[in-house]
C-alpha cells in the first residue's frame, strides 16, 4: 500500500501546519476531523475576544463557550462596562487548563478592582506570560486582597499602577520572571526597586522612561544575563558625559546581548561603545537625529549584526570604502528618515549590504517630491540583487506602476508589500513582467478594477494576493482577477478579527 500524508505522525503534521497562514489552516481543518484538531493547535495562534462593541457578548456566548479548541494564547479587549469582566472570567475559565499567555487590553485608564486580577491569576495557575495594559487598579473593599503566587510566570508586561500598590509586593508572587516590560514614572520608586530585585536573572528588559532622570540609575543596575533590551525615553539627549558613561557601563556588563532597541536619541559615542562591547549583537533598532559616516563605521564593527532598523534620522551615507561591508546583514528597515544624497546612499547600499534579503522603506521620503521618491525607490531596489522581500510604505502618496519595471533585475524577489494612498494605472509599453514574485500584499485607499488587472499582468506567477483597501475594487473586479489568475489565492483582508497569529 503506498504511503500517504495520513501516515505522517502528528508531530510532522503540526510542523507543516505551522508554516501556513491562518486562513490556510482553517481550510486545511475542513479536510477531516484529525486535521481540524491539528491545524489550529499550533502554539502561535491566539484568540482575540473584544467586549468593546455592542454585539460581542452574544457572539462569544454562542461560539466561544462551545469551542473545543485548546487555545494557549488569549487576548481580552474590554471597556468601562465592568459587568463584562464577569463574562470575561467565564470565558477564561473555559480555556484555563491550556492557557499560558494572557493579555488584558482595556480602554485607557479603566478602573479595575485588584480582586479581578486575583481571580484571573487563580484561574490560570500555569500562566507563563501576563500582559496588563492601561488598567488603573484599585481596592475599594475593606478585605485584603492577595494575589496567588505565579510560579510559572516568566514574562510580565505592566503599563499601569500595579507595582505602585502597597497592598502587596509583586516580588513575592513572581519568583521566576526572566522577561520584564514596564514603565518608570515620575512619583513612585517601587518599579525601580522591583527591577533592581529581579535584574540579575532577566534575559529580556523593556522600559519606558516617562522622565529621563531615571535613565542613568537603571543603566547602573546589574543585568548579567540580558539578551534583549528595549529603552524608550522621550526627548532624551546624551550630551551629558555621566549618562554616556553609565550607558557604556551598561553595555560592558551585557556580554550576552543579542537584540537592542534604543529609542532614546543615541549619538556617535554610544554607538562607539556598542561596537566595542556588544560582539554578539544581532538585531539593532536606533532612533537617532544624525546618522553620520562615523556612525556607519561603528555599526560596521558589529560583525554579528543581521537586522538593522533606523528611525527618525537624517542619513549621511559614507563612501563604500569608508567602512567594512555588513557581511551578515540580511534585513534593513528605514523608518521616517531623510537621506541627504540618495544616489550616494544607493551606491553605498549596493556594495556594503552584499547579502541583504529584506528591505523595508517606510516613509523614507520626507521632504522629497513625488518624482524624487520614485527615482529613489527605483534605483535602490534595482541595485540589491539578492533581495527576496521588499516593503514600501508611503501612505500619503500614489504608486506609479512604472516602478515595477525597475524590479525586473531582482530575480530573487519573492514578496512585495505595498502601502500607498492609491495606484496610477499608467504603464509604459515595456515587455516586462515579474514572473518570480509569489506573494503580493497590497494596502491602498484608492484602486480600481482596471488598475488591479493591469497590476496582475505584471505578476503572472503570483500565488497569493492579499488586498486591503477603503475605496477599493468591486466584487466584479475581484472575480475578474480570480479568473485571470485561477491558481492565485486572492483575498480581501477582514475588518473584524477573532483569531490572528500571535504577535
| Mean pLDDT to the nearest integer, 477-500 | 74
Structural domain count, the chain = 1
With H, G, I as helix, E, B as strand and everything else as coil, classify residue 480.
helix
Residue 354 lies in a domain: no
> What pLDDT does residue 280 have?
93
Neighbours of 92 (CB within 10 A): 18
Residue 331 lies in a domain: no
Q: Which residue has the cell 494564547?
A: 73
| Mean pLDDT to the nearest integer, 115-142 | 87
Q: For residue 190, what are the CA distances in angstroms to 51, 183, 195, 225?
A: 32, 11, 9, 22
Q: pLDDT-derived band of residue 352, with 50, 70 and 90 as boundaries?
A: very high
Q: Tens digits of per-residue pLDDT, 162-195?
A: 888 777 788 888 999 999 998 887 666 888 889 9
Q: Tens digits of per-residue pLDDT, 289-306?
A: 899 999 999 999 999 999
Sign of CA dihedral 289, 293, 294, 299: positive
Q: pLDDT-derived band of residue 496, with 50, 70 and 90 as boundaries?
A: very low
Phi-psi bin for 369: left (phi > 0), alpha (psi -120 to 50), beta?
beta
Residue 299 lies in a domain: no
Under a CB-based contact definition with an 8 Å cutoff, are residues 330 and 306 in contact? yes
Residue 29 lies in a domain: yes
| Mean pLDDT to the nearest integer, 146-173 | 86
Residue 12 lies in a domain: yes
Neighbours of 391 (CB within 10 A): 16
Q: Tens digits of per-residue pLDDT, 246-291?
A: 777 888 888 899 999 998 878 888 898 899 889 999 999 999 889 9
Percent of the chain residues topping a pLDDT of 70:
83
Q: Tens digits of per-residue pLDDT, 417-444?
A: 988 888 876 655 556 678 889 999 988 8
> What pLDDT does residue 498 have?
39
Q: Tens digits of per-residue pLDDT, 39-61?
A: 766 556 777 877 776 666 666 66
> What pLDDT does residue 470 have?
59
Residue 113 lies in a domain: no
pLDDT at 369 over 80: no
HEC-encoded secondary structure of 6-74: HHCCHHHHHHHHCCCCHHHHHHHCCCCHHHHHHHCCCCCEEEEEECCCCCHHHHHHHHHHHCCCCCCEE
Residue 121 lies in a domain: no
Sign of CA dihedral 371, 375, 381, 382: positive
> What pLDDT does residue 500 have?
42
User: CATH number, domain at 34?
Assistant: 1.20.1280
Which of the pair, 92 or 26, is modelled with greater confidence? 92
> What pLDDT does residue 178 have?
96
* Residue 19: domain span: 1-42
Backbone φ, ψ for residue 27 (5° rounding): -65, -45
With H, G, I as helix, E, B as strand and everything else as coil, classify residue 171.
helix
Q: Tens digits of per-residue pLDDT, 216-229?
A: 788 888 899 999 99
Residue 24 lies in a domain: yes
Amino acid at each position: 500500500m503506498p504511503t500517504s500524508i495520513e501516515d505522517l505522525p502528528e508531530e510532522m503534521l503540526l510542523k507543516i501546519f505551522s508554516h501556513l497562514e491562518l486562513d490556510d489552516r482553517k481550510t486545511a481543518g475542513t479536510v477531516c476531523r484529525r486535521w481540524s484538531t491539528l491545524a489550529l493547535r499550533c502554539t502561535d495562534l491566539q484568540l482575540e475576544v473584544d467586549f468593546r462593541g455592542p454585539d460581542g457578548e452574544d457572539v462569544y456566548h454562542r461560539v466561544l463557550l462551545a469551542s473545543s479548541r485548546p487555545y494557549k494564547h488569549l487576548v481580552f479587549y474590554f471597556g468601562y462596562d465592568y459587568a463584562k469582566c464577569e463574562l470575561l472570567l467565564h470565558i477564561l475559565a473555559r480555556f484555563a487548563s491550556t492557557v499560558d499567555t494572557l493579555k488584558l487590553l482595556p480602554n485607557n485608564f479603566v478602573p479595575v478592582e485588584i480582586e479581578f486580577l486575583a481571580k484571573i491569576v487563580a484561574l490560570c495557575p500555569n500562566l507563563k506570560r501576563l500582559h496588563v495594559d492601561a488598567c488603573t487598579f484599585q481596592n475599594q473593599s475593606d478585605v485584603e486582597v492577595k494575589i496567588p503566587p505565579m510560579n510559572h510566570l516568566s514574562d510580565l508586561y505592566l503599563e499601569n499602577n500595579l507595582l505602585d500598590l502597597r497592598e502587596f509586593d509583586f516580588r513575592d508572587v513572581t519568583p521566576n520572571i526572566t522577561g520584564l516590560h514596564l514603565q518608570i514614572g515620575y512619583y513612585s520608586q517601587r518599579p525601580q526597586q522591583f527591577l533592581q530585585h529581579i535584574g540579575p536573572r532577566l534575559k529580556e528588559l523593556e522600559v519606558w522612561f516617562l522622565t529621563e532622570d531615571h535613565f542613568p540609575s537603571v543603566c547602573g543596575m546589574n543585568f548579567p544575563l540580558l539578551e534583549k533590551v528595549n529603552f524608550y525615553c522621550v526627548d532624551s539627549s546624551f550630551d551629558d558625559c555621566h549618562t554616556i558613561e553609565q550607558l557604556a557601563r551598561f553595555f560592558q556588563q551585557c556580554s550576552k546581548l543579542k537584540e537592542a532597541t534604543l529609542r532614546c536619541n543615541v549619538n556617535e559615542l554610544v554607538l562607539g561603545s556598542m561596537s566595542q562591547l556588544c560582539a554578539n549583537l544581532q538585531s539593532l533598532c536606533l532612533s537617532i537625529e544624525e546618522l553620520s559616516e562615523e556612525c556607519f563605521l561603528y555599526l560596521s564593527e558589529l560583525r554579528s549584526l543581521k537586522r538593522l532598523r533606523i528611525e527618525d534620522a537624517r542619513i549621511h551615507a559614507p563612501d563604500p570604502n569608508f567602512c567594512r561591508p555588513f557581511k551578515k546583514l540580511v534585513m534593513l528597515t528605514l523608518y521616517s528618515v531623510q537621506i541627504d544624497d540618495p544616489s550616494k546612499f544607493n551606491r553605498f547600499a549596493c556594495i556594503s549590504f552584499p547579502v541583504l534579503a529584506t528591505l523595508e522603506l517606510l516613509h523614507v521620503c520626507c521632504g522629497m517630491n513625488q518624482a524624487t521618491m520614485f527615482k529613489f525607490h527605483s534605483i535602490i531596489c534595482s541595485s540589491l540583487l539578492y533581495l527576496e522581500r521588499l516593503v514600501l510604505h508611503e501612505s500619503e502618496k500614489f504608486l506609479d506602476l512604472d516602478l515595477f519595471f525597475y524590479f525586473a533585475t531582482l530575480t530573487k524577489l519573492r514578496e512585495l508589500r505595498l502601502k500607498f494612498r492609491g495606484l496610477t494605472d499608467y504603464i509604459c509599453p515595456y515587455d516586462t513582467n515579474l514572473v518570480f514574485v509569489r506573494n503580493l500584499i497590497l494596502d491602498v485607499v484608492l484602486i480600481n478594477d482596471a488598475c488591479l488587472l493591469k497590476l496582475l499582468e505584471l505578476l503572472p506567477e503570483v500565488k497569493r494576493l492579499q488586498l486591503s483597501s477603503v475605496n477599493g475594487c468591486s466584487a466584479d473586479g475581484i472575480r475578474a482577477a480570480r479568473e485571470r489568475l485561477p491558481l492565485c489565492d486572492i483575498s480581501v483582508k477582514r475588518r473584524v478579527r477573532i483569531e490572528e497569529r500571535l504577535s
